Amino acid sequence: MHKWFVSISLLLVAVSATTYSTLPVYDYIVAGGGGAGSLFASRLTEGSFQVLVLEQGLNSSCYSCDNTVLSVVNDLWTAQGNSLFTTPQTYLTRSFKQPKMSWPGGNTRVYQGYAYPAHPGVYQQYPGNLTLEEFLPYYNKYQDHYCNYLPQSYTGIDPINCTKYHGNAQGPMGISRMVANLSDSEFFFDMLDSASDLGLHHVNDPWNAEEITQSNASIFVQQVFRIVQNASDPMSPRVRESTWSGYTPYSVRARSNLSYKTSTQVVRIIFRNEVERGDFGAVVLNGFTNTSDPSTQAVGVIYTFKDKSYPVFARRQVVLSAGVLGTPKILQHSGVGPADLLESVGVPVVADNRYVGQLVAEHPGYAVIYKTKKNIPINYVNFGGMGAMLLTTPYARHGYPDVQVQIFPVFPVESLESQIVGTGDLQIQYPPVSVGDASVYGAAPILNFIISRTDPHNRGSFNITGDQYRFTDQYDLGISTNPTVFATSEDYLAQKWVIDHLRQILLNSTSAFAQKWIDSELSPGIRSTDPNVQGQIDLQAVARGMDLTYHQTGGMNLGLATDINGVVNGISGVTVCDNSLQPHPPNQNPTGAMLALCEYVADKLMKNTGSGPLVTDTFLANQDGATSTSANGSNGATSTSANGSNGATTSQTNQGNNSGAIGTSTSPVSTASIAQCLFGVTLALALFGL
């Protein structure tokens, strides 16, 4: 009897060796390898956790992204482009183009890189007891700031405040300020010298909360994310610092516990009840936490690659970092969002979370164009971004500056889409001219004041329109198409106030700067002495010329769509962080505030989910012989090892540098062993005496 029992047991082991194999399972899956995804790729792999990053961008290099400071727009028309249009906005029913890039590192590979925190007043709008002081350690964690390398006489930042607001040069993101003493800086330093006459307070460091709160109107030299060849030399060559170069240099991408797959698209979340009812074959979730409701417990995602769909599983957490336009889409297609929306498009409701995809904010922008008395050059080092102002209008809603004004020379910004839609009339009239300097692109008598309403009243939404991921989405900014409502809106009135304010300090001023530099206003242009007529001219100009500043935030607002740590409300196992998580729009470029928020979320995530055995101590069993799963999870999946890849790419084999491509991985292999089967069967037959 014992002989028969042993033989049957061995035979079952042999059969199971050919019947079961391991599906890909990781500790964490990060959906999106953009600005925030790069941060999570780095932070989550600092220990022994197995991490998979799924990035929709291609596995290709971008020299201009990583070796210049220029905005790269040519790739918008390639496979890297991922743009869409909004629904009609303003009373002219304009649809704004939202350019997006599908690169590892996301839009940080092509941005200007302005580096700022959110104003202390912004944090007063945050949920709970979160304050700027709570986030200072996370701001400091990512910075490698120039105040740690250059003397106070140059930076204007004393050592105590350098440490308090910028840390100790231990972070991955290099920050420098625009280079002074170049040909494009003369006009701006004249403006700084006239700051008090212009009603402005010159701030040495806009990161310093004590400085930035001293005045309702300030001006400062821009700080930017840059890789500086010699940080101790203020004139040293520099290129753009993206989160790709900062957080995921080759030394990070080569970590054995990081798999990085490009050309993949996460389309939805897998919930535990799908696995338990057999949607993925005979899968056993060993080592996964059990919750009281398997229908809302996320255990993985479905991603697509080359028109096939694959499941992959996360034992600890799924992290969504797909951006304002991507993270809500994944959740809504997974059945997590406003129930009425999901039901209307035929998506089964998993959790009714009415904030998913809602309360999206954008900084609406409009450029006032002045003609100057002298040509102003633009060079390849600063590329026009010398300085900015923060102004507080009578329409400020929370007591801190509600408008940022970027001061940008040479190219007449008749539209913030000018680089995309083509050359405007004023650029034809005032083209950049050569100045005989190889470091200068050109010069023109043009100075733009780009007005961004950074504490906007309007809120919009981003919603799916059908039950297929490929269907067009609906992106609404919440800007009224009613002429009266638009003309009386806080956002327009704040921009109109700044237009008039600039006229006062530039055209009706005796300041040395205005007398030396300002000739006339080209756009909107002063066409009438009648305030009512001029008001209509300004209104029409803003309605025609207003554009996106590409500073979207919200849609997964902290404390509403998620809890205080970024965990999605209504389900378990999913954490969010990217610009969609910001609960209130920062009053400057949102990248700096987003990185601090995601450092905070990553820290809380690892503290809350980092205990217990590693993924190498667990496994998933799946029926052998299946092929790739469908997007709805109805079929089995091709088996891979935990570090494998279904046709995508992985970081472990990358031999490039920061500007190079990710290396190609090997094909997936089955872990079932034919030798195991033959050995087991032979042994069983021998014991049977056959």
CATH number, residue 312: 3.50.50.60
Same domain for 174 and 207, yes or no, is no
Helix, strand, coil % over all residues of the chain, rounded to 5: 30, 25, 45
Confidence band, pLDDT 50/70/90 cuts, at residue 64: confident
Phi, psi (5° rounding) for residue 564? -70, -15
Pairing mode, strands 143-145 and 173-177: parallel
Confidence band, pLDDT 50/70/90 cuts, at residue 182: confident
- Whether 576 and 327 have beta carbons less than 8 Å apart is answered as yes
Please write the tens of the pLDDT for every residue from 48-59.
999 999 999 988
User: Which residues, 6+ apart, have CB-to-CB distance to 12 below 8 Å?
Assistant: none
Residue where a domain stops, chosen among 529, 550, 571: 550
659 lies in some domain: no
Measured between alpha carbons, how far apart are the two ends of the chain, in Å? 16
- Quote the pLDDT of residue 83: 78
Same domain for 396 and 518, yes or no, is yes
Strand, coil or helix: 31: strand
Letter for the amino acid at 602?
A
Q: Is the pLDDT of residue 413 over 70?
A: yes
Binding residues for FAD: 266
Please write the tens of the pLDDT for every residue from 630-677.
344 333 333 333 333 344 444 443 333 333 344 333 222 222 333 334
Same domain for 497 and 396, yes or no, is yes
- pLDDT (average), residues 372-382: 92
Please write the tens of the pLDDT for every residue from 290-339.
899 999 999 999 999 998 999 999 999 999 999 999 999 999 999 999 99
Same domain for 542 and 611, yes or no, is no
Q: What is the mean pLDDT of the chain?
A: 86
What is the CATH number for 388?
Answer: 3.30.410.40
Same domain for 540 and 568, yes or no, is no
- Quote the pLDDT of residue 527: 95
Same domain for 299 and 320, yes or no, is yes
Q: Is the peptide bond before 613 cis (omega within 30 degrees of 0)?
A: no
User: Residue 65 has which token pair?
Assistant: 């992204």
Matching residue, tokens 């959790």: 351
472 lies in some domain: no
Matching residue, tokens 């389900």: 571
Please write the tens of the pLDDT for every residue from 205-258.
999 999 999 999 999 999 999 999 999 999 999 999 999 999 999 999 999 999
372 lies in some domain: yes
Residue where a domain stops, chosen among 550, 576, 605: 550
Residue where a domain stops, chosen among 170, 201, 232: 232
Judge if pTM exceeds 0.75.
yes
Same domain for 348 and 416, yes or no, is no
Q: Is the pLDDT of residue 21 over 80?
A: no
* Burial group, residue 353, by CB count within 10 angstroms (0-12, 13-18, 19+): buried
- Whether 527 and 533 have beta carbons less than 8 Å apart is answered as yes
Same domain for 486 and 545, yes or no, is yes
User: What range defines the domain where residue 494 resides?
Assistant: 179-221+363-459+480-550
- Quote the pLDDT of residue 555: 98
The Cα-based distances of 563 to 126, 466, 488 in angstroms read: 12, 28, 35
Please write the tens of the pLDDT for every residue from 351-370.
999 999 999 999 999 999 99
410 lies in some domain: yes
Q: Give the number of residues written for the chain.
A: 690
- Quote the pLDDT of residue 207: 98
Most confident of 17-26, 406-415, 429-438, 452-461: 452-461
User: Which residues, 6+ apart, have CB-to-CB distance to 106 below 8 Å?
Assistant: 32, 33, 34, 35, 37, 38, 57, 243, 323
What gap in Å lies between CA 369 and CA 472, rounded to an integer? 36
Same domain for 344 and 435, yes or no, is no
- Quote the pLDDT of residue 69: 86
What gap in Å lies between CA 607 and CA 316, rounded to an integer? 12
- Whether 240 and 69 have beta carbons less than 8 Å apart is answered as yes
Matching residue, tokens 């950049």: 432
Same domain for 312 and 296, yes or no, is yes
89 lies in some domain: no
What gap in Å lies between CA 283 and CA 289, rounded to an integer? 15
What gap in Å lies between CA 79 and CA 248, rounded to an integer? 22
- Whether 680 and 10 have beta carbons less than 8 Å apart is answered as yes
- Quote the pLDDT of residue 529: 95
24 lies in some domain: yes
Letter for the amino acid at 523?
S
Phi, psi (5° rounding) for residue 367? -105, 125
Confidence band, pLDDT 50/70/90 cuts, at residue 427: confident
Same domain for 183 and 173, yes or no, is no
Strand, coil or helix: 98: strand
325 lies in some domain: yes
> H or E segment at 9?
helix 2-19
- Quote the pLDDT of residue 441: 87
Same domain for 287 and 353, yes or no, is yes
- Quote the pLDDT of residue 477: 94
Radius of gyration over every alpha carbon of the chain, rounded to an integer in angstroms: 28
84 lies in some domain: no
Write down the number of H helices and E strands in the chain.
22, 30
What gap in Å lies between CA 183 and CA 434, rounded to an integer? 13
The total of structural domains in the chain comes to 3
The Cα-based distances of 476 to 107, 380, 428, 453, 548 in angstroms read: 21, 36, 33, 17, 12
Binding residues: 266
